């Protein structure tokens, strides 16, 4: 069902209490504050496997875990974190959107990766009633797309002496004007519908492409955002 994710209730518990997963989300924020993505993944794995298997709020931990693996470009454990979920949770729209993103990433279907990241972000913003989770997903998606695009840029740089603009858009998922501007910043030239990589291309240019923060900086931003949310609560 496509309702908002909220802690479950029972007949004997008329007052809703935070689920173990909702509560544990704050411990992940603390790990993010320490700028340790490896510890973040390890803690999320532990939390996700120790809690109630069928609790729908398990997705509040499972989905950030999947995205953290994607940030590291580690697709197999990202996929496994979804396929080990019970069928009832796998069928939830949040899990389905996340699985679609993982599948496109595994197959390197570049346009689909960018499009499905947007779909997942918009779904979370519209359907998940947990502001800290929504902001966490947004920041992790930013980090993932930034890294994915940089790897695509590096691939294009090494594979083409020149590339048609529309084919570069296929790989990099950027509108024409921004693509020309961003590639120009790292020494590419554009003329007659063709982008030509710099002859001095390398890892440094790929790292600078797009100008977005690193994973560590992303985790710093995450804690800043969550702190603002808590302060305004």
pLDDT tens digit sequence for 43-76: 999 999 888 999 999 999 999 999 999 999 999 9
Percent of residues in the chain assigned helix, strand, coil, to nearest 5: 70, 5, 25
User: Between 226 and 137, where is the model more confident?
Assistant: 137
User: Between 123 and 200, where is the model more confident?
Assistant: 123
Say whether 97 sits in a helix, a strand or coil.
Answer: helix
State the CB neighbour count (10 A cutoff) for residue 156.
Answer: 22
| Domain definitions of the chain by residue range | 20-148+213-232
At residue 37, the pLDDT reads 80
Q: Are the beta carbons of 157 and 168 closer than 8 angstroms?
A: no
pLDDT tens digit sequence for 93-138: 999 999 999 999 999 999 999 999 999 999 999 999 998 899 889 8
16 sits in the region (left: phi over 0; alpha: psi -120 to 50; else beta) called beta
Q: How far is CA 67 from CA 91, 101, 144, 195, in A?
A: 18, 9, 7, 31
Angle at 120 between CA 126 and CA 232, to 5 degrees: 45
Which of 186, 223, 191 minimizes the C-alpha distance to 26?
Answer: 223
Q: Are the beta carbons of 38 and 2 closer than 8 angstroms?
A: no
């Amino acid at each position: 069902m496509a309702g908002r994710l909220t802690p479950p209730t029972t007949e004997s518990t008329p007052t809703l209490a935070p689920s173990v997963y909702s509560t544990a989300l704050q411990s992940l924020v603390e790990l993010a504050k320490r700028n340790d993505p490896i510890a973040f993944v390890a803690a999320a794995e532990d939390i996700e496997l120790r809690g109630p298997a069928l609790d729908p709020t398990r997705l509040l931990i499972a989905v950030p875990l999947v995205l953290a693996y994607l940030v590291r470009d580690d697709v197999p454990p990202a996929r496994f974190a979804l396929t080990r979920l019970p069928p009832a949770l796998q069928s939830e729209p949040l899990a389905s959107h996340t699985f679609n993103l993982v599948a496109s990433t595994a197959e390197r279907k570049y346009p689909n990766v960018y499009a499905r990241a947007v779909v997942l972000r918009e779904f979370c913003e519209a359907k998940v009633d947990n502001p800290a989770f929504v902001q966490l997903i947004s920041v992790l998606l930013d980090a993932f797309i930034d890294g994915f695009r940089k790897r695509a840029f590096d691939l294009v740089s090494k594979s083409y002496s020149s590339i048609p603009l529309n084919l570069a858009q296929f790989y990099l998922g950027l509108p024409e004007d921004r693509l020309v501007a961003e590639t120009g910043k790292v020494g590419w030239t554009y003329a007659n519908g063709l982008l030509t990589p710099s002859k001095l291309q390398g890892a440094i240019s790929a790292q600078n492409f797009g100008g977005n923060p690193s994973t560590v900086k992303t985790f710093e931003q995450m804690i800043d955002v969550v702190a603002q949310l808590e302060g305004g609560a």
